[in-house]
Chain A
Amino acid sequence: MYTIELDKVRKAYGQFVAVNDLSFKIEQGAVFGLLGPNGAGKTSTIRMMIGITAPDTGEIRLFGQPFHRQHLNNIGYLPEERGLYKKMKVLDQLIFLGELHGLTAAIARQKAIDWCKKMEISEKLQSKVEELSKGMQQKIQFIAALLHDPDFIIMDEPFFGLDPVNATLLKDVLLELKKQGKTILFSTHRMDQVEKLCDSICLINKGVPVLQGNLKQLKSQFGKNNVQIGYEGDGSFLEHNALVGSFNNYGNYVEVQLAPGADSQQLLRMVAERSRVNRFELMEPSLEEIFIEVVGKNDA
């Protein structure tokens, strides 16, 4: 069962094509990363998912059905542009937003109180939003997205502007939600942050998907091409070596990029013969490196 399916979705604003031919599916209970640089079309994609705009062509299915506004009561959305009614009290605001998502006032109130306790912000329930610090407002915004217990959670740049303590708090809550079987979509340009959390990703650039799939598979596809070697002895054998594409000597260790098709085990044996090895590590490329590589290739 897929929580959301995008099938060849396209959205253009006049001449500008924001999203082009984008397809992906997110399995129920998965953590999915929608990644890409600023202006890649992430927010445009999300807006189509929750019916703020409609795709020009292509189809979006939510919970196995064509989009229907009723689905919105089962989606939690944290927009990139955070905003709350500044003059409104925290509790009133949460109740209001909960009611808009279909809760009754009484249930919304109870949930708001529970969530504020969980997010360690209970003492601010009766404060006006404008009296709160930025970080506290972020928490309220976060609660507002989760209050109605949605099965599909969309977070646009969730960690932006959070201090490490609150970022960890948020991460823990999200992992707990994942355990409960909720589907989570992260949208961000900070790829290092979601790398640790996501099961699968879709990388988009200029409205076009450039890479997608299971994160581990993608990495193995791209990765294990770099080796970090720590050794004692003469390293001159690395030069003019058929196994080595290029290398970088950092003094304490050398980073080697294997030649295409070269076997890392062969290199290990070779190094072991000529020097004392104290470290030999196959490096996974970071998402960022993959992105730069893919985008660089596409642009070239």
Chain B
Amino acid sequence: MMRNTFLIARREYIERIKTKAFLVMTILIPAIMAGSLYLPGIFVSRMSSAAKHLVVAVSDPQTGEIIRRQLEQVRQEEQQERQEIEQKEPQPRRTMPQASRFTVDMDTNTSDAERASLADQVKQKKLDGVIWAPREALAAKRVTFITRDVSSFEENSQIQMSVARALQRETLKSKGLTDTEIDNAQSLVLVAPENPSGGGAGDFKTTFFALVFLITVLYVTVLLYGINVMQAVLEEKSSRVMEVMLASAKPKELMAGKILGVGAVSLTQIGIWVLAGVVFASGGLIANGAELAKAISLRTVLFFVVFYVLGYALYSTLYAAVGAMVNSQQEAQQLQQLVALPLILPLLMLSYIVQYPGAPLSVAASIFPLTSPLIMFARISLQIPPWWQIGASIGVLVITIYGIVLLCARIYRVGILMYGKKPTLPEIMKWIRYA
């Protein structure tokens, strides 16, 4: 039993490692991931590195002056902050979008014609933006920012912040406060989350990024390799190698060998990714590497592997049964999507889990075996849940895998010898009942 399973797994492993597909996947998946996470950041910072030319249109030149000062000051504050951080940790924060440098002109003509002409200049790229803040707009507390890029989140929120602060400053000044007093009043207090045992959560944004990154990798690999098992079974069935194999191996051995072989390939691939990640991050070659590494602790990596192995075992077994049931890629399609459904669910639930990791729904989803690999892992990497919940999650998962393996082995055993039409559900039930 063991020897055949080993031989089959070894063949699967060697043949797969040798393929170009393996090489491409190993490089491509992290490249796409990294690309989707970091490219926009790099792009934005490139775009905003040039000084932007803005015009502030105000009725009162004094107000305009304060807004102008505030906007140009942003750059200095940002640099100061950066220096402070760099003193604490030498990693350059390359991809943090840099604050825009603004050169600001003032315009006290607030006629409609002037507004139209300014808007036109923005359109013709002679100006980068116009802050339209005449007296009426200020009274209504609604200032317009005319820009070609209305969806640039970073920049627009910076303008929002600066204009709001400037107007606050003006009000406070009129109450007789000094600049220092105003600075003091305006400086934000940082609220740092800390868990009961004293550990800090780190930067929330980075934690969230890391989580999304890991969950996506987990989802993609479980799905990808599960489907790989299905295709391997289907291929053996349609090329009729199955018949030859059955002359010396049991269906159970074939199924186990397939799952273990493909699983070993996937672990090799994940191993390469982790290794590459460590090398690049420690070498500072990945932007934000150090931060990401801080957010992804050894514990997280360990649990990633645990839940990957369990998730893969569950889904690849289901996919092996699907492969045995069908006769062609087309037939496989529908069933394949059906199996993937409970795997997609956790992705949709992710934002809820992040907000309420301890809520009953989150706890239930992290113990329910079809969603638990992803959800429990998400909870663990956010904030370590009670140990009994982790235990329950893994326990239920292991028991389910055992049951699914028994069930699918029966479907597999009959399915691999069935050619021709796709079986109906009652037929599959009959297969399961065969002795």
Residues of A within 8 A of B (CB): 14, 47, 50, 52-54, 69, 72-73, 75, 77, 79-88, 96-97, 99-101, 141, 144-145
Given A14-B430, A99-B7, A86–B247 Cβ distance below 8 Å? Answer: no
Q: Is the CB of A84 within 8 A of B241?
A: yes
Find out whether the CB atom of A83 lies under 8 angstroms from the CB atom of B241: yes
For residue A96, which residue of chain B has the nearest CB? B11
**Which residue in chain B gives the minimum CB-CB distance to A84?**
B241
- B245 interface residue per 8 A CB criterion: yes
**Secondary structure class of chain B's binding surface, majority of residues:** helix
Asked whether B4 lies within 8 Å of A100 as measured between CB atoms, the reply is: yes
Known: A75-B247, A101-B248. A83 touches B239 (CB 8 A): yes
A297 to B243, CA, bound (A): 35
Give the docked Cα–Cα distance between A212 and B19 (Å): 51
Q: Chain A residues near B4 (CB, 8 Å)?
A: 100
**Contacting pair A79 B15 (CB below 8 A):** no
Q: Is A85 a contact of B248 with CB atoms below 8 Å?
A: no
Q: Which residues of A contact B435 (CB under 8 A)?
A: 54
Nearest-neighbour CB distance to chain A for B328, whole angstroms, equals 16
Q: Is B417 an interface residue (CB 8 A)?
A: yes
Q: State the B residues within 8 Å of A (CB).
A: 4, 7-8, 11, 15, 19, 236, 239-250, 417, 430, 435
Residues on the B chain within 8 Å of A87, using CB: 15, 19
Q: For the complex, what is the distance from the CA of A86 to the CA of B243, rounded to whole Å?
A: 15
- Name the contact of A81 in the complex, choosing from B8, B240, B430 (C-beta under 8 A): B240
| Cβ–Cβ < 8 Å partners of B246 in chain A | 50, 52
Residue of B nearest to A88 (CB): B15
Contact B244 A84 (CB under 8 A): yes
Contacts of B244 in A (CB 8 A): 77, 79, 83-84, 97, 141, 144
Looking at the assembled complex, report how far the CB atom of A93 sits from the nearest CB atom of chain B, in whole angstroms. Answer: 9
CB pair B7–A96 under 8 Å, yes or no, is: yes
Q: Give every chain B residue within 8 A of A144 (Cβ-Cβ).
A: 244
Residues of A within 8 Å of B15, CB to CB, are: 85, 87-88
Q: Which residues of A contact B245 (CB under 8 A)?
A: 100
Chain A residues within an 8 Å CB radius of B239 = 83-86
Question: Cα distance A54–B19 when bound, in Å?
Answer: 38
Q: How far is the CA of A100 from the CA of B2 in the complex (A)?
A: 11
Expressed in whole angstroms, the Cα–Cα distance for A75 and B8 within the complex equals 19
5 new A-B contacts at CB < 8 Å, known A14-B430, A97-B244, A100-B4? A52-B246, A79-B244, A83-B236, A96-B11, A99-B7
Give min CB distance, B243 to chain A, whole Å: 4
A-B contact pairs, 20 of them (CB 8 A): A14-B430, A50-B246, A52-B247, A54-B435, A72-B247, A72-B248, A77-B244, A79-B240, A79-B243, A80-B243, A83-B236, A83-B241, A83-B244, A84-B241, A87-B15, A87-B19, A88-B11, A97-B248, A100-B8, A144-B244
Q: Which of B19, B241, B250 has a CB less than 8 Å from the CB of A85?
A: B241
Interchain residue pairs A-B with the least CB separation, the first 4: A83-B240, A79-B243, A77-B247, A81-B240
Cα–Cα distance between A167 and B199 once the two chains are bound (Å): 77
Residues of B close to A53: CB separation below 8 A: 417
User: Which residue of chain B has its CB nearest to the CB of A14?
Assistant: B430
| Chain B hits for A83, CB < 8 A | 236, 239-244
How many angstroms between the C-alpha atoms of A283 and B250 in the bound complex? 48
What residue in chain B is nearest A144 (Cβ atoms)? B244
CB distance from A82 to the nearest CB of B (A): 6
Q: Name the residue in B8, B11, B15 with the highest tally of chain A Cβ atoms < 10 Å from its Cβ.
A: B11
In the bound complex, CA of A47 to CA of B249 (Å): 13
Q: Is the CB of B7 within 8 A of A79?
A: no
Q: Across the interface, which residues of A come within 8 angstroms of B241, CB to CB? A: 83-85
Cβ of B25 to closest chain A Cβ, rounded Å: 17
A100–B7 touching, CB < 8 Å:
yes
State how many angstroms separate the Cβ of B247 from the closest Cβ of chain A. Answer: 4
Q: List residues of chain B with CB within 8 A of the CB of A81.
A: 240, 243
Please report the C-alpha to C-alpha distance between residue A145 and residue B24 in the assembled complex, in whole angstroms: 36
Q: Kindly list chain B residues whose C-beta atoms are within 8 Å of the C-beta of A141.
A: 244
- CB-nearest residue of chain A to B12: A85
- Complex: how many Å from CA A73 to CA B249? 10
Report chain B residues within 8 Å CB of A86: 239
Chain A residue at minimal CB-CB distance from B248:
A100
Bound-state Cα–Cα, A80 to B246, Å: 13
Chain B residues near A54: list those with CB within 8 A: 435
Q: How far is the CA of A37 from the CA of B357 in the complex (A)?
A: 66
Minimum CB–CB distance for A92 against chain B, Å: 8
Q: How far is the CA of A21 from the CA of B248 in the complex (A)?
A: 26
Shortest distance between the CB of A32 and any CB in chain B (Å): 18
Which B residue's beta carbon lies closest to that of A101? B248
Chain B contacts for A77, CB-based, 8 A:
244, 247
Quick one: given A14-B430, A85-B239, are A79 and B11 in contact (CB under 8 Å)?
A: no
Bound CA span A141–B7, Å: 19
The CA of A96 and the CA of B249, in the complex, are separated in Å by 12
Nearest B residue to A85, CB-CB: B241
Q: Which chain A residue shows the least CB distance to B253?
A: A100
CB proximity of A292 to chain B, nearest CB, Å: 29
CB distance from A43 to the nearest CB of B (A): 9
A72 to B242, CA, bound (A): 16
Give the distance in Å from the alpha carbon of A47 to the alpha carbon of B246 in the complex.
Answer: 9
CB distance from B418 to the nearest CB of A (A): 10
Contacts of A99 in B (CB 8 A): 7
* Nearest-CB residue, chain B, relative to A50: B247
In the complex, what distance in Å separates the CA atom of A288 from the CA atom of B241?
32
